[in-house]
Amino acid sequence: MKHRCPICKKPTDSGEHADFPFCSERCRLVDLGAWASEKYVVSDPVFDEEELLEADRPSQQKGQHEPDESI
């Protein structure tokens, strides 16, 4: 598969370059450093945390209570 290195834009090929999609280990490490220093970030969360928390809570409708077992 032919591609261009995302760092230096040199042509790279998956059949020839072990560091594909990068052209070299140097470009791969530059990219890794950018992620580690938070130069790259995921702009929006994939899931809304509030929706996940609500989905994990037991579902009880307002105004309805558990039956009193002490009777």
pLDDT at 71: 59
Q: Which residues of the chain have pLDDT under 50?
A: 62
Dihedral-angle region of residue 62 (phi above 0 means left; psi in -120 to 50 means alpha; beta otherwise): beta
Whole-angstrom CA distances from 71 to 27, 59, 66, 67, 68 are 72, 25, 13, 10, 7
The widest CA-to-CA distance across the chain, in whole angstroms, is 78
In the chain the domains, ranked by start, together with CATH numbers, are 2-41 (3.30.50.10)
Q: Has this prediction a pTM greater than 0.85? A: no
